[in-house]
Amino acid sequence: METKSIPPIEITSVEGIIAVRQKVRELASKMGFGTVEQTRIATAVSELARNIYQFAGKGMVTIFSLEGDRKGIQIVCEDDGPGIADIELAMTDGYSTIKSLGLGLPGAKRLMDEFLIESEPGKGTKVTITKWL
C-alpha cells in the first residue's frame, strides 16, 4: 500500500499536542474527511499525544496518508517511556494511574476504526490508529 507521511512531530510540551492536533485535522480535511470525522481523529490524537507528554515526557507522532485501494489516515504515537504493564487493564474505561478520567486509551479506540497498542514495561509504548475514508 502506498503511503505518504509528513515529517514526524515531536511531543515535548502542550504546544506539541496542539501542533499535532492541527496537522492531523489539516491532513484529514485535505483527504476528504468530514468535520465530525476530523474531530474524532483530532480528539483521539489529542488523547494519545497527551499520554506521551504525561507519562513519557517526550515522544513522537507520525501521520500517514494511506493511498492504496483503501484510503485512510494512520497515526503512529510512540515513546520510550515507562510502558504499560497490563494493557488490558489500561484499555478499561475509568482505569487510571494518575487520577484522570481513564478514558484516553479506550476513548481513542472508540473514536477510530483501528487501534493497535504495543508496549513493554521499561521500553515504551507505540499506539497505531487508523481511520478509513
Nearest approach in angstroms of CB 54 to another protein is 8
Nearer to another protein among residue 17 and residue 117 (C-beta): 17
Nearest approach in angstroms of CB 24 to another protein is 10
Alpha-carbon gap, residue 72 to 65, rounded angstroms: 6
Nearer to another protein among residue 67 and residue 133 (C-beta): 133
Nearest approach in angstroms of CB 90 to another protein is 14
Alpha-carbon gap, residue 108 to 85, rounded angstroms: 19
* Contacts with another protein, residue ranges (CB under 8 A): 13-14, 17-18, 21, 25, 35-36, 38-40, 42-43, 46-47, 50, 93, 100-101, 103-104, 106-107, 110-111
Among 56, 58, 72, which residue's Cα sits nearest to residue 15? 58
Calculate helix-pair angle for 104-111, 35-51, nearest 10 degrees: 150
Nearer to another protein among residue 29 and residue 67 (C-beta): 29
Rg (CA), the chain: 14
Which residue is associated with the grid cell 475514508? 133
Nearer to another protein among residue 1 and residue 18 (C-beta): 18
